[in-house]
Amino acid sequence: MVDKTKWPRPAAWAITQNEKLWTEFDSVADPSVIIGWSLGDSYRTSMMRPGDRALFWMTGPSGGIARIGFVLSTEKTPKGRWVASDGKRHKAPYSGEFFMPPLPNRRYIHRSALLADPRLQDCELLSTASQQPGPLRIEAKEWKSIEKLLRRFDQTSAEFRSSWPQR
Protein backbone atom coordinates (compact mmCIF):
# COMPACT_ATOMS: atom_id res chain seq x y z
CA MET A 1 0.00 0.00 0.00
CA VAL A 2 1.23 3.51 -0.84
CA ASP A 3 1.88 5.80 2.13
CA LYS A 4 0.37 9.04 0.82
CA THR A 5 1.43 10.93 3.93
CA LYS A 6 4.97 10.88 2.48
CA TRP A 7 3.92 12.54 -0.79
CA PRO A 8 5.42 15.97 -1.42
CA ARG A 9 3.32 19.00 -0.57
CA PRO A 10 1.01 20.10 -3.38
CA ALA A 11 1.21 23.52 -5.03
CA ALA A 12 -2.22 24.38 -3.60
CA TRP A 13 -5.17 22.93 -1.71
CA ALA A 14 -8.74 23.02 -2.98
CA ILE A 15 -11.66 23.30 -0.60
CA THR A 16 -14.93 22.11 -2.12
CA GLN A 17 -18.52 23.16 -1.61
CA ASN A 18 -21.73 22.11 -3.31
CA GLU A 19 -23.25 24.98 -5.30
CA LYS A 20 -26.78 23.80 -4.43
CA LEU A 21 -26.12 23.82 -0.68
CA TRP A 22 -23.98 26.93 -0.40
CA THR A 23 -25.63 29.37 -2.79
CA GLU A 24 -24.63 32.37 -0.67
CA PHE A 25 -20.93 31.55 -0.89
CA ASP A 26 -19.40 33.86 -3.41
CA SER A 27 -17.45 37.08 -3.35
CA VAL A 28 -20.46 39.24 -4.05
CA ALA A 29 -22.77 37.75 -1.41
CA ASP A 30 -20.02 37.24 1.20
CA PRO A 31 -17.14 39.70 0.85
CA SER A 32 -15.44 38.44 4.06
CA VAL A 33 -11.70 38.02 3.72
CA ILE A 34 -11.40 35.47 6.55
CA ILE A 35 -13.47 32.40 5.70
CA GLY A 36 -14.07 29.49 8.07
CA TRP A 37 -14.87 26.16 6.45
CA SER A 38 -15.24 22.49 7.33
CA LEU A 39 -12.59 19.97 6.31
CA GLY A 40 -12.52 16.22 5.98
CA ASP A 41 -10.65 13.88 8.28
CA SER A 42 -7.76 12.74 6.10
CA TYR A 43 -3.99 12.80 5.91
CA ARG A 44 -4.38 15.83 3.63
CA THR A 45 -5.91 17.98 6.33
CA SER A 46 -2.97 17.25 8.62
CA MET A 47 -0.58 18.30 5.81
CA MET A 48 -2.11 21.78 5.44
CA ARG A 49 0.04 24.59 6.87
CA PRO A 50 -0.48 28.33 7.36
CA GLY A 51 0.58 30.15 4.21
CA ASP A 52 -0.26 27.29 1.82
CA ARG A 53 -2.19 28.36 -1.26
CA ALA A 54 -5.87 27.50 -1.18
CA LEU A 55 -8.80 27.88 -3.52
CA PHE A 56 -12.50 27.34 -3.04
CA TRP A 57 -14.09 25.13 -5.67
CA MET A 58 -17.84 25.04 -6.33
CA THR A 59 -18.85 21.54 -7.44
CA GLY A 60 -21.44 20.84 -10.13
CA PRO A 61 -21.93 21.83 -13.76
CA SER A 62 -22.08 25.57 -13.01
CA GLY A 63 -19.17 25.38 -10.60
CA GLY A 64 -15.62 26.55 -10.78
CA ILE A 65 -13.05 28.49 -8.79
CA ALA A 66 -14.97 30.88 -6.54
CA ARG A 67 -12.22 32.29 -4.33
CA ILE A 68 -8.48 32.01 -4.00
CA GLY A 69 -6.12 32.80 -1.15
CA PHE A 70 -4.16 31.14 1.67
CA VAL A 71 -4.56 28.78 4.62
CA LEU A 72 -4.45 30.60 7.96
CA SER A 73 -5.08 27.63 10.28
CA THR A 74 -6.64 24.18 10.64
CA GLU A 75 -7.92 22.50 13.79
CA LYS A 76 -10.03 19.66 15.12
CA THR A 77 -13.57 20.94 15.54
CA PRO A 78 -15.01 20.81 19.06
CA LYS A 79 -17.26 17.75 19.44
CA GLY A 80 -16.89 17.06 15.70
CA ARG A 81 -19.32 19.85 14.79
CA TRP A 82 -18.51 22.89 12.70
CA VAL A 83 -20.71 25.98 12.93
CA ALA A 84 -21.30 27.68 9.57
CA SER A 85 -21.62 31.47 9.21
CA ASP A 86 -25.42 31.07 9.13
CA GLY A 87 -25.26 29.47 12.61
CA LYS A 88 -26.12 25.94 11.46
CA ARG A 89 -24.06 23.06 12.86
CA HIS A 90 -22.60 20.48 10.50
CA LYS A 91 -20.77 17.24 11.20
CA ALA A 92 -17.12 17.94 10.41
CA PRO A 93 -14.08 16.56 12.20
CA TYR A 94 -11.81 19.46 11.18
CA SER A 95 -12.17 23.06 10.16
CA GLY A 96 -9.92 25.75 8.84
CA GLU A 97 -9.62 29.48 8.44
CA PHE A 98 -8.61 30.89 5.10
CA PHE A 99 -7.64 34.34 3.84
CA MET A 100 -9.70 34.85 0.68
CA PRO A 101 -9.78 38.33 -0.86
CA PRO A 102 -13.15 39.19 -2.48
CA LEU A 103 -13.47 38.81 -6.22
CA PRO A 104 -15.72 40.93 -8.43
CA ASN A 105 -17.95 38.22 -9.87
CA ARG A 106 -20.00 35.22 -8.77
CA ARG A 107 -17.76 32.69 -10.53
CA TYR A 108 -14.09 33.50 -10.78
CA ILE A 109 -13.19 30.84 -13.32
CA HIS A 110 -15.86 28.44 -14.63
CA ARG A 111 -15.00 24.73 -14.71
CA SER A 112 -15.28 24.71 -18.53
CA ALA A 113 -12.10 26.82 -18.74
CA LEU A 114 -10.26 24.14 -16.80
CA LEU A 115 -11.79 21.30 -18.83
CA ALA A 116 -10.40 22.87 -22.00
CA ASP A 117 -6.80 22.59 -20.75
CA PRO A 118 -5.25 19.16 -21.40
CA ARG A 119 -2.69 19.73 -18.62
CA LEU A 120 -5.56 19.58 -16.14
CA GLN A 121 -6.98 16.25 -17.32
CA ASP A 122 -5.81 14.49 -14.12
CA CYS A 123 -6.68 17.35 -11.77
CA GLU A 124 -8.79 16.25 -8.81
CA LEU A 125 -11.03 19.29 -9.28
CA LEU A 126 -12.34 17.75 -12.51
CA SER A 127 -12.76 14.20 -11.20
CA THR A 128 -15.17 12.48 -8.86
CA ALA A 129 -12.76 13.40 -6.05
CA SER A 130 -14.25 16.91 -6.14
CA GLN A 131 -17.39 15.49 -4.52
CA GLN A 132 -15.42 14.54 -1.40
CA PRO A 133 -14.82 16.79 1.60
CA GLY A 134 -11.69 18.84 1.03
CA PRO A 135 -8.92 19.40 0.86
CA LEU A 136 -8.05 18.24 -2.63
CA ARG A 137 -4.51 18.38 -4.02
CA ILE A 138 -3.51 20.69 -6.86
CA GLU A 139 -0.14 19.63 -8.18
CA ALA A 140 2.55 22.02 -9.49
CA LYS A 141 1.84 21.54 -13.23
CA GLU A 142 -1.89 21.97 -12.56
CA TRP A 143 -1.28 25.14 -10.55
CA LYS A 144 0.74 26.61 -13.45
CA SER A 145 -2.26 26.10 -15.75
CA ILE A 146 -4.65 27.60 -13.21
CA GLU A 147 -2.26 30.52 -12.69
CA LYS A 148 -2.38 31.25 -16.45
CA LEU A 149 -6.18 31.34 -16.28
CA LEU A 150 -5.96 33.69 -13.29
CA ARG A 151 -3.67 36.05 -15.20
CA ARG A 152 -5.96 35.97 -18.24
CA PHE A 153 -8.93 36.79 -16.03
CA ASP A 154 -6.99 39.64 -14.43
CA GLN A 155 -6.17 41.15 -17.81
CA THR A 156 -9.84 41.09 -18.88
CA SER A 157 -11.36 42.48 -15.68
CA ALA A 158 -11.11 46.25 -15.37
CA GLU A 159 -12.48 46.22 -11.81
CA PHE A 160 -9.92 43.79 -10.42
CA ARG A 161 -6.15 43.85 -10.37
CA SER A 162 -4.32 41.04 -8.66
CA SER A 163 -0.99 41.07 -6.91
CA TRP A 164 0.40 38.61 -9.47
CA PRO A 165 2.97 40.19 -11.75
CA GLN A 166 1.85 40.85 -15.30
CA ARG A 167 3.77 38.96 -17.98
Q: Render pLDDT for 80-137 as a digit per residue (tens, 0 to 9).
A: 888 877 788 888 899 999 998 876 555 568 888 888 899 998 898 888 777 777 799 9
Residue 164's pLDDT band (boundaries 50, 70, 90)?
Answer: very low
Q: Render pLDDT for 3-39 as a digit per residue (tens, 0 to 9).
A: 556 778 899 999 988 766 665 555 556 667 888 888 9
What CATH class has 10-156? alpha beta
- pTM beyond cutoff 0.85: no
Burial label, 93 (beta-carbon count in 10 A; 0-12, 13-18, 19+): middle
Better-predicted residue by pLDDT, 58 or 47: 47
Domain ranges of the chain: 10-156
